A and B are shown apart, each in its own frame.
Chain A
Amino acid sequence: MIEVEGLTKRYGPTVAVSDVTFQVRKGEVLGFLGPNGAGKTTTMRVITGYLPPTAGTVRVAGFDVVEQPLEAKRRTGYLPELPPVYPDMTVDEYLAFAGRIKGVAGAELKKRMDAVSETCAVSDVRRRQIGKLSKGYRQRVGLAQALIHNPDVLVLDEPTAGLDPKQIIETRQLIKSLAGQHTVILSTHILPEVSKTCERVVVINGGKIAAVGTPEELTRRLQGFETVLVTVEGPEKEVKEKIERIEGVNLVERHEASDGRVTFEVHAAKDKDVRAEVARAVVESQWKLFELKTSGLSLEEIFLKLTTKDLGEEPAAT
């Protein structure tokens, strides 16, 4: 549905996005993840036709955003980071205006206005002035605007920025409910957002793609089983020795201890899952096993790993 190929965008001598290539399939929710200033907004602005690319092509629903901008824009709904609302207008006036400039008119416009007000939960404020609404409402009015012409593609730039936790959850549910009928691409620098709403993630850093995959794939790829945390109640020294004797274990370190329970960090050989052996060893010796887990990198750690690694390899990029 969205095909980005070799996209490069320069602002004068500054390279904001460099040779970015990825696809978004129909009906998919793609997360665009990266620290601030990574080039997320720039990429989205090119996809929506707001900025022309310096090099490369972007196609939306088969239409090149440079060659056939009107056709591409007709199929794209865009919610910028700052909802593009006119504070003087009422919600209804605003949606009517947005609908008209996007080619929705007459009875169809009225129907769409009702539908998107319902979807975005702004039905109760339709006659209120947008300037007097709360940030959460304004964000939803912005989203309603993006949906008014029932676009194939929905581009959302940090849709939950600045909302309170309840509104964030509501917005995420809303986005999830839009998947399927719309192809969604959303950017964020907040990680839980990605694992909660997106089917696939593109991690971007310093204007380059650092990784692509499902949140699970990324987690698996980066954390591995090499490090296992095990919490045992038993004689510390013996436990340590016993675990060290297991095949494939390279090193056992005392991680922390409290209430007689000791947690060990077990480092195993590459690609070796020693969890089952560790569990058997502990139980066979009649010690009490309280917890056994891979020292799973959280998404945050993966994110940091991906983004800092990239910068480390290319000091020139900073």
Chain B
Amino acid sequence: MRNVVTIAGKELRTYFHSPIAYLVMALFAVLCGFFFYNLTAAYVIETFRMLEMGGMGAPPMNINENVIRPLFEGILTVVLLLLVPLITMRLYAEEKRSGTIELLLTSPLTDMQIILGKFLGALCLYVLLMVLAFLDIGLLFLYGNPAAKPLLANALGFLLYGGALLSLGMWISTFTKNQIIAGIVSFAVFLLLYVFDWVSAFSNGTVGRAMSFMALTTHFDNFAKGVIDLSDLVYYLSVIGLGIFLTARSVEALKGRA
């Protein structure tokens, strides 16, 4: 466990020694802030209009449903497709390029300690992004009264969604010495997993349903609504586990090939 923490600490320090951490956080803060402002402004205008109209027959406005949910479900999930590859692309590719992988693999560490350490380090940076998002959402508490409990589900969903992307991105990073390639391939794979459930629009057969189930987004909907569903939880944990397992296999193969 101490070794895992050491590796995680090293990864996190590397993010902050290079521009990557600042770049990712700045991009996320700007994008998240812009969309949050937009959604909130639209919400306020809509509320005033409904007050003027006396709220006849319209469903009551709810800040969780009308601001926070679309922010997570419609926007941040997409923003992350772009930003998570920036976090994961260097995890193995850079170690392979600079030869430091030889230091890691010849030190008295197990492969799994290295993998978990790297995953944990990347996850820490990701949690900082989450903090940024919740800073924005926290502002709502100053001027309104959003329900706090659904936010916990939002946070958990956000963490699991990111964890799934991170573990898959880490796996993809083991295949190349080139960070750019790792980043682009990760983005393509993430995008594909994101749009998988679009097939459900025209295919209701087994294949369509299976693909829809595999999509990263279908399982996020409940979390965005503030609902924790066991099947969603299992789905994300499985994807994280799969990513870590595939990374382990890939590192094993790496040794055979040199």
Query: What residues make up the interface of A, taking CB atoms closer than 8 Å to B?
Result: 11, 42, 45, 48-52, 69-71, 73-74, 76, 78, 80, 82-89, 93, 97-98, 100-103, 105, 145
Contacts and interface: CB of A to CB of B under 8 A. Distances in A.
With a 10 A CB-CB cut-off, give which of B18, B103, B256 has the most chain A CB atoms.
B103
B109 interface: yes
Contacts of B106: 48-50, 73, 76, 78
B258 to A, nearest CB: 6
Interface of B: 2-3, 6-7, 10, 13-14, 17-18, 98-110, 255-258
Contacts of A86: 10, 14, 98, 100
A264 B99 CA distance: 53
A50 B257 contact: no
B167 to A, nearest CB: 22
27 contacts: A11-B257, A45-B102, A48-B102, A50-B102, A50-B255, A51-B255, A69-B108, A70-B108, A70-B110, A73-B106, A73-B107, A84-B100, A84-B101, A86-B98, A88-B17, A88-B18, A89-B13, A98-B107, A100-B2, A100-B6, A101-B7, A101-B104, A101-B107, A102-B108, A103-B108, A105-B2, A145-B103
Contact of A51 (B18, B104, B258): B258
Given A11-B258, A76-B106, A89-B17, A97 B100 contact: no
Nearest to B94: A86
Contacts, number: 78
Contacts of B99: 80, 82-84
Contacts of A105: 2
B256 A51 contact: yes
B102 A78 contact: yes
Given A82-B99, A86-B98, A145-B103, A93 B13 contact: yes
B164 to A, nearest CB: 27
B107 A102 contact: yes
Contacts of A50: 102, 105-106, 255
A159 to B, nearest CB: 14
Contact of B103 (A11, A74, A76, A84): A84
With a 10 A CB-CB cut-off, give which of A70, A83, A101 has the most chain B CB atoms.
A101
Contacts of A103: 108
Contacts of B257: 11
Contacts of B105: 49-50
A66 to B, nearest CB: 11
A89 B98 CA distance: 13
Contacts of A49: 105-106
Top 3 closest pairs, chain A to chain B, by CB: A84-B103, A88-B17, A82-B99
Contacts of B255: 50-52
A291 B13 CA distance: 66
Contacts of A70: 108-110
Nearest to A9: B258
B102 A84 contact: yes
A7 to B, nearest CB: 15
Nearest to B14: A88
A97 B258 contact: no
With a 10 A CB-CB cut-off, give which of B7, B18, B108 has the most chain A CB atoms.
B108
Nearest to A89: B17
Contacts of B14: 86, 88-89
Contacts of B107: 73, 98, 101-102
Nearest to A83: B99
Nearest to A85: B100
Contacts of B101: 84
Nearest to B16: A88
